[in-house]
Amino acid sequence: MCGLAGTYAFRMDGRTDPDRFASVVRDLAHRGPDDEGIHHAGSAMLGHRRLSLIDTSSAGHQPFTDEEGRYTLIFNGEAFNFEPLRELLKKQGHRFRSNSDTEVVLHLFKERGPDFLHDLNGFFALAIHDADTDELFVARDRFGEKPLYWTADEERFLFASELRSLIGLGTPLVRDELSVEQYLTYHYIPAPFTLLQHASKLRPGHCLHVSRDGVRLERWYQLVERVRKLPPADDSNGQLHELLEDAVRLRLIADVPVGTFLSGGVDSSIISALAARQHKHLHTFSIGYSDDPFYDESQFAQAVAEHIGSEHHAFILSTDDLAENYLGLLEAIDEPFADSSALPSFILCQRTRHYVTAALSGDGADELFGGYRKHQAELRWSRPGPVELAVRALAPLWRALPRSRNSPIQDKVRQLDRFAELSGMDITERFMHLAAFHDPMASRGLIRDPGPLQGLKDRERMAVNPIAELAGLNGVLLADVCHTLPNDMLHKVDLTSMAHGLEVRPPFLDHRVVEFAFGLPAERKLRKGSGKHILRETFGYLLPTEVMARTKKGFEVPLLRLLIGPVSGLVDELTAGDLVHEAGLDPHKVNAAVSKMRSDAPGTSQATVHALLVYLSWWRSQLGKRNARV
C-alpha cells in the first residue's frame, strides 16, 4: 500500500509548481513511510510514497519506468498473483530487473494495454504515463479497496489517494451542499461525489483516459456480467473452500510480517483459521473494552486463537484510551467520514503495526453472504408471517418505548421499531433507509442552505440501481457491494490502516470469491434465521461450535460515554462560535443535537454529534490550511 498523486497539464499555464507538488507528495508519508519518488515527463507529474511489502529493496522504487523509458507507473496496492503473471510474461519475451509486483503490472500493461486490469488479482489505484503519446491512464480496483480522487478543468487534471491532496494542489474549497446532506445522513459521501463541488471519487471498477483532448471515463469491470458467464457449481461448498483458501494463501505473500485481525466473529475467525493452516506462528489481533461489557467481544477472539494456535494480541481499551485517540482520528480523516467504528479500528491498526506490516481481515463477507440483520429482515419483509405482522401491528408501542444503542434492551426495541417502520416500504426505499444513520429530513434541517431535494433523490436512485440487476436478496447484496462496502466499510479500512502505514488484505474480496458468491441462490446464504449459511456449513469444522453459531455483532464503540465524558470539552469547542456558521450549518439545530445527547433520553443522538464533530474539525483544518497558503 502506498500514497500517490499526479497532475496532467492540458496547456502550459496548467502546469503545477514542482515545489508545491513535492510538498503534497510528502504529506502522504503516513501512507508510504519507506520511500518517496517524483517523475516529470511531458504533460504529467507523478508522485509516490511507498510502503514496502514485496521486494523491499530499492529495485521496487516508484515511480517505476520501463527499460525503454516510455512507460512510467505509480501503483498503490497489490497484485497478489504477480508470480505466475511474471512467469507468463517471461515466456512472452519480457525481462525483469526486480522481484516486485509493480514491475509485473507495468509489463502486463505493455503486453495487453488497459485490458490488463482483468488479469490482476488484488486491489489497487494506479496511473501509467506513456511518454511517446503523452497520455495518462488511471484506474481503480474492482470493489473500491483503494481510494482515488480526481478533478479536471480547462487547464489540468489532478488525482490523488486523498482529497486533501487535491486541495493542496489548488482545488477550490467550495462545499457541495448535497454531499454535506448525504454525509450527515449516511456518515459517508458515496462515490462519485465528494464534499467539494469540483472534485470526484473515481468509482470502483472504473478508469480514466487522459490526454490533451481531455478526460474520458470508462467502466472496466462489471460484476453482473461476470456472474452471468459463470458455469453452475457442481459442489458449491467445495468450490468456496478452494477459492477462499487460495485467496488467503495469496494474501499471505509478503517480504514483511503478516498477521490477521480476529474479532471472534464468523468472518475473521474463518480467515484466521485458514491462515493458521498455512502460516506458522500466526499473530492475531483484536480489540476489547474494559469499561463496558456490552461492547466487549474479546473472549470470543481469545477462544478462537486458542483453538487455531495463534499468538494472540488482545488490546483492551478503556474510555480514556478512546479519548486519547479521538483527536488523532479526526486529524487522520481526509474527507468527512463518521462511522464511529473507525475509532476502535484506528487504535487496532495503530497497535497491530507494532508487530506486522500487513493484516488479513474478514471484510466483505457480510455483503456477499447476507450477514447483516437487515438481510434476514429483507426475507421477512418479502414473506411476512404471523410474527412479522405482529411486530408491524405493535409499531405504536415500539415508538413509545426508549430506543438507543446504549443497552441490550433499548437496542432490541430500536430494531423492532425499525422493522415495523420499514415493513411498509418497497425494496429500494428500504435500502436507502437502512443505509442511513440519521433521518434524512433531520439531516437536511441541520444545513443552513440545503441543496435541491430533487438532486438528492437523483443521487439516491444511483445507489439503488444495482438492486434491479439481480433478483431478490442478491440484488440487495449487489447494492451493498456497490454502495455501502466501498463508501463505508472499505473507506474505513483504508483510512484507519494507512494512517499507521499498515496494509489490510480482505481475502473475501478476491474477485473469484465475489463472483462465486453472486452466482449462489439466496437460500444458500440465508436459512432458518441465520445469515452466511454456506460459510458456516463449509468452514464449521475449523472452529468451535459456539463461534460458528454466533449472530452478527458490529464493531461498535461506547460513543455516548466518550462524548459526554472525556471528549465533552471538544464537543463544546467545535460546536460553539463562528465555525458552525462558516461550515454552513444551523447553530440552533446543532446546539439542539448536543443538548439531546446530554439529556436523560439521548436516543442515538451521539452518532449525530460525532458526525458533526468530524465535519467541523475537518472544515476548521481546511480553513486553517487555506489561510496559511494565502
Q: Mean pLDDT over residues 306-331, rounded?
A: 96
Any domain includes 418: yes
Alpha helix positions (H), 508-586: 511-518, 533-539, 545-548, 559-564, 568-575, 579-582
Structure confidence at residue 311 (pLDDT): 97
Are residues 471 and 481 located together in one domain of the fold? no
Q: Please, what sign has the CA dihedral across residues 372, 378, 381, 387? A: negative
Domain boundary among 423, 445, 475: 475
Residue written as cell 480523516? 333
**131 contacts 44 by C-beta, under 8 angstroms:** no
**79 contacts 55 by C-beta, under 8 angstroms:** no
Are residues 360 and 378 located together in one domain of the fold? no
Any domain includes 345: yes
Q: For the chain, how many structural domains are there in total?
A: 4
Does residue 586 carry a pLDDT above 70?
Answer: yes
Structure confidence at residue 429 (pLDDT): 83
Domain boundary among 175, 198, 221: 221
List pLDDT tens digits, range 462-521: 888 888 888 788 999 999 999 999 999 999 999 999 999 999 999 999 999 999 999 999
Are residues 99 and 242 located together in one domain of the fold? no
Domain boundary among 415, 445, 475: 475
Q: Which residues pair with 137 in a beta bridge?
A: 128, 209
User: Best-predicted range by mean pLDDT among 286-300, 381-395, 560-574?
Assistant: 560-574
Nearest-5° Cα angle at 183, 438 to 428: 65
| 271-285, 378-392, 427-441, 580-594: the lowest-pLDDT one | 378-392
The whole-angstrom distance between residue 554's C-alpha and the CA centroid of its chain comes to 15
Domain CATH number, residue 510: 3.40.50.620
Cis peptide bond prior to 384, omega within 30° of 0: no
Cis peptide bond prior to 192, omega within 30° of 0: yes
Any domain includes 115: yes
Q: Please, what sign has the CA dihedral across residues 169, 201, 144, 206? A: negative
Closest CA to 490 of 40, 208, 77, 62: 77
Q: Measured between alpha carbons, how far is 212 from 135 in angstroms, rounded to an integer?
A: 8
Are residues 481 and 467 located together in one domain of the fold? no
Supply 140's cell numbers. Answer: 481503480
Are residues 147 and 172 located together in one domain of the fold? yes
Q: Measured between alpha carbons, how far is 485 from 480 in angstroms, rounded to an integer?
A: 6
Are residues 507 and 467 located together in one domain of the fold? no
Are residues 244 and 168 located together in one domain of the fold? no
Domain CATH number, residue 215: 3.60.20.10
Q: Measured between alpha carbons, how far is 6 from 168 in angstroms, rounded to an integer?
A: 12
End-to-end CA distance of the chain: give it in Å, rounded: 33
Structure confidence at residue 460 (pLDDT): 85
Any domain includes 553: no
Structure confidence at residue 627 (pLDDT): 63
List pLDDT tens digits, range 36-86: 999 999 999 999 998 878 777 777 789 999 999 999 999 999 999 999 999
Q: Measured between alpha carbons, how far is 292 from 319 in angstroms, rounded to an integer?
A: 9
List pLDDT tens digits, range 182-227: 999 999 999 999 999 999 999 999 999 999 999 999 999 999 999 9
- Domain with 598, as residue range(s), is 559-629
**126 contacts 138 by C-beta, under 8 angstroms:** yes
By the 10 Å C-beta count (0-12 exposed, 13-18 middle, 19+ buried), 34 is classed as middle
Each as own residue / partner, the long-range contacts of residues 306-311 (CB below 8 Å, 24 or more positions apart, any chain) are 307/273, 307/543, 307/544, 307/547, 308/272, 308/273, 308/276, 308/282, 308/284, 308/542, 308/543, 309/276, 309/282, 310/260, 310/262, 310/272, 310/276, 310/282, 310/283, 310/284, 311/281, 311/282, 311/283, 311/284
Q: Mean pLDDT over residues 527-551, rounded?
A: 88
Are residues 54 and 193 located together in one domain of the fold? yes
Q: Mean pLDDT over residues 529-537, rounded?
A: 89
Closest CA to 298 of 288, 308, 289: 288
Does residue 244 carry a pLDDT above 60?
Answer: yes
Structure confidence at residue 433 (pLDDT): 83
Q: How far is CA 104 from CA 92, 117, 138, 197, 533, in A?
A: 13, 12, 17, 37, 38
* pLDDT > 70 fraction of the chain, expressed in percent and rounded: 97
Any domain includes 554: no
Does residue 629 carry a pLDDT above 60?
Answer: no
Q: How many residues does the chain have?
A: 630
Supply 6's cell numbers. Answer: 499526479
Does residue 262 carry a pLDDT above 70?
Answer: yes
Are residues 357 and 378 located together in one domain of the fold? no
Structure confidence at residue 173 (pLDDT): 94
Does residue 251 carry a pLDDT above 90?
Answer: yes
Q: Measured between alpha carbons, how far is 597 from 591 in angstroms, rounded to an integer?
A: 10
Are residues 327 and 399 located together in one domain of the fold? no
Any domain includes 83: yes
List pLDDT tens digits, range 99-153: 899 999 999 999 999 999 999 999 999 999 999 999 999 999 999 999 999 999 9
List pLDDT tens digits, range 349-369: 999 999 999 999 999 999 999
**125 contacts 148 by C-beta, under 8 angstroms:** yes
pTM of the complete model: 0.93
Supply 40's cell numbers. Answer: 516529470
Structure confidence at residue 554 (pLDDT): 66
**Which residues make Cβ contacts (< 8 Å) with residue 307, sequence separation at least 6?**
273, 543, 544, 547
Kindly provide the residue ranges of all beta strands, DSSP E only, lying in 453-535, ordered along the sequence.
503-505
Any domain includes 326: yes
pLDDT bin (cut points 50, 70, 90) of residue 379 is confident
Are residues 271 and 351 located together in one domain of the fold? yes
Max Cα-Cα span within the chain: 73
- Give the neighbor-by-neighbor strand order of the sheet with 2-9: 35-41, 44-50, 2-9, 156-160, 149-152, 200-201
Are residues 213 and 266 located together in one domain of the fold? no
Q: Mean pLDDT over residues 538-558, rounded?
A: 84
Structure confidence at residue 302 (pLDDT): 95
**104 contacts 167 by C-beta, under 8 angstroms:** no
Structure confidence at residue 1 (pLDDT): 65
Any domain includes 382: yes
Does residue 94 carry a pLDDT above 90?
Answer: yes
- What's the whole-number average pLDDT of the chain? 92
